[in-house]
Structure 1
Amino acid sequence: MAAALRRVDDRADRLHVRLDRPEVRNAIDRAMVDELHEVCAELEAWPRILVLSGTERVFAAGADIAELRERGRDDALAGINSRLFVRIAALPMPVIAAVDGWALGGGAELAYAADFRLAGENARFGQPEVGLGIMAAAGATWRLRELVGETLALEILLAGRVLDAAEALAAGLVSAVHASSDLLKAADALADRIAEQDPTAVRFTKRAFRAPRAAHPEVDDLAQSVLFESPAKHERMTAFLDRRKP
């Protein structure tokens, strides 16, 4: 069976993985889920920035409908896609989704699980599940509301509204829109900026940011107590002060 993912860039500070089932518009099937779990296991053991992208003109056009049609109650309760996307969102280092073309259904929900979403000019986001007799159950019912607000999220979830790149930018779903030819360069540039920071501080900040409101400020104080004792803090602050000396 052909691999569902392709490693585009594999470096010490980042891993760029491309969804690579163009013959079915990168539909997310069980094989792709399993391969993404393998990526997660690797990045949990060796934390790096993850960049996710699709192929030309499509990020991921949802779950594999032929496979989805045969799933039953036990498959739903197993949370095949939802638990993967929770795992991706919880990766130690930031996740960047470079989305161009269609991101529908589970493909859109995969993008929502990223920390950053960059859009190509042809990006389209939508949740067609209710038209297929199911619901968006892999994160859209709660992540989308957090990202774009309740009113717009309900229109996307219940009325089939599809956001183009400009609308996604205006709604705050993506942080920037780029020409399709420049999208991956923009994702790399963002990864470069993150990689310039102290990786331990990045990891602690991401964890604190994702913590529930009730956990603050204790989670921030605990994280800072560890960072205050790190060699990187002393080295980076010393370098900063040395640059300021006349």
Structure 2
Amino acid sequence: MKTITIHDEDATIHVELDRPEVRNAIDRLMVEELHSVCTDLERSPRILILSGAQGPSGGVFASGADIAELRDRRRDDALAGINSGLFQRIARLPMPVIAAIDGFALGGGAELAYAADFRIATARARIGNPEAGLGILAAAGGGWRLAELVGEPVAKEMLLAGKVLDGEEARALRLVTELHEPDQLIPAAFALAARIAAQDPLAIRLTKSVLAAPRDAHPAIDELAQAILFESEAKLERMQAFLDRKKSKE
């Protein structure tokens, strides 16, 4: 891998966006390499942590798409959904995705973070979508995921007026759920991953699918997912262990 660094930690895989010389800007090669990570995680589901390698001036998640490359893209590139296809694939990974945001997460970098299931950050995080100032729009999820996450008024302020949220503002809006010191951000991401990994993996996978289902799919999809879990060995073992612990305390 030339644009990302992969740390495989058993139940969790940590991927660093690693182009610090350009503030981890997302280019076509990074997209391809992240697709290869998705292929692995679809075949062997694990929790994914996404973060950015430290830049020369400090923390950075991803400053956006590579502008030098983006400038030369034309209509057919837009219709190919280069970034949106990847981010949709990341959002649909079987197990949860955690974005650990330090410094800039702008444009495509912000849209990558929006595709995650969890976002944690540092106070110096800067999250925004400045695409309109470059003559384009946030077409890789910013135009709809952002509104779902923070509400339409804030999304419009970010997408139409160029507002950039700092870490505290993002936490107040619940766009991120935790703030940490820069040196504690990755340990905090792994702590969150450990809490997820302590749950039943199949229950996590099915719960994620149910949460992503459209409104008119409920309650049928909930009942089908529950029917699968009711037949699992893990359900029987975990419930019996719960009853045994309760009995031992009586």
Query: Does the TM-score normalized on the shorter chain lie above 0.5?
Result: yes
Match 1:26 to one of 20, 24, 27: 24
Match 1:42 to one of 23, 40, 43: 40
Report how far residue 11 of structure 1 moved.
2.5
Query: SS of the residue aligned with 2:73?
Result: coil
Taking the TM superposition and a 5 Å limit, the aligned residue runs for 1:213-232 are 213-232=215-234
Match 2:241 to one of 239, 242, 246: 239
Q: Does 1:54 align with 2:56?
A: no
In 1, the alpha carbon distance for the partners of 2:136 and 2:16 equals 27
In 2, the alpha carbon distance for the partners of 1:49 and 1:122 equals 25
For 1:134, give the aligned amino acid. I
For 1:91, give the aligned amino acid. L
In 1, the alpha carbon distance for the partners of 2:159 and 2:123 equals 23
Instruction: Quote the residue 2:2 is aligned against.
Output: 3
In 1, the alpha carbon distance for the partners of 2:53 and 2:155 equals 26
In 1, the alpha carbon distance for the partners of 2:34 and 2:80 equals 16
Taking the TM superposition and a 5 Å limit, the aligned residue runs for 1:120-131 are 120-131=122-133
Instruction: Quote the residue 1:153 is aligned against.
Output: 155
- Alignment deviations for residues 79-136 of structure 1 (CA, whole Å, 9 cap, x no partner): 0000100000000000000000000000000000000000112100011100000001
Taking the TM superposition and a 5 Å limit, the aligned residue runs for 1:128-207 are 128-207=130-209
In 2, the alpha carbon distance for the partners of 1:10 and 1:106 equals 25
Sequence identity (%): 66
In 1, the alpha carbon distance for the partners of 2:191 and 2:197 equals 10
**How many correspondences in the alignment?**
244
In 2, the alpha carbon distance for the partners of 1:149 and 1:67 equals 31
For 1:33, give the aligned amino acid. V
For 1:155, give the aligned amino acid. E
Query: SS of the residue aligned with 2:70?
Result: helix
Q: TM-score, normalised by structure 1?
A: 0.98
Query: SS of the residue aligned with 1:26?
Result: coil
In 1, the alpha carbon distance for the partners of 2:9 and 2:121 equals 23
Q: TM-score, normalised by structure 2?
A: 0.97
- Alignment deviations for residues 7-32 of structure 1 (CA, whole Å, 9 cap, x no partner): 1x312211000000000100000000
Match 2:94 to one of 86, 92, 95: 92
Instruction: Quote the residue 1:107 is aligned against.
Output: 109
RMSD of aligned Cα (Å): 0.7
In 1, the alpha carbon distance for the partners of 2:239 and 2:9 equals 27
Query: SS of the residue aligned with 1:52?
Result: strand
Q: Which runs of 4+ in 1 moved over 6 A?
A: none
Instruction: Quote the residue 1:14 is aligned against.
Output: 12
- Alignment deviations for residues 189-223 of structure 1 (CA, whole Å, 9 cap, x no partner): 00000000000000000000010010000000000
Instruction: Quote the residue 1:78 is aligned against.
Output: 80
In 1, the alpha carbon distance for the partners of 2:51 and 2:10 equals 19
Query: SS of the residue aligned with 1:140?
Result: coil
For 1:5, give the aligned amino acid. I
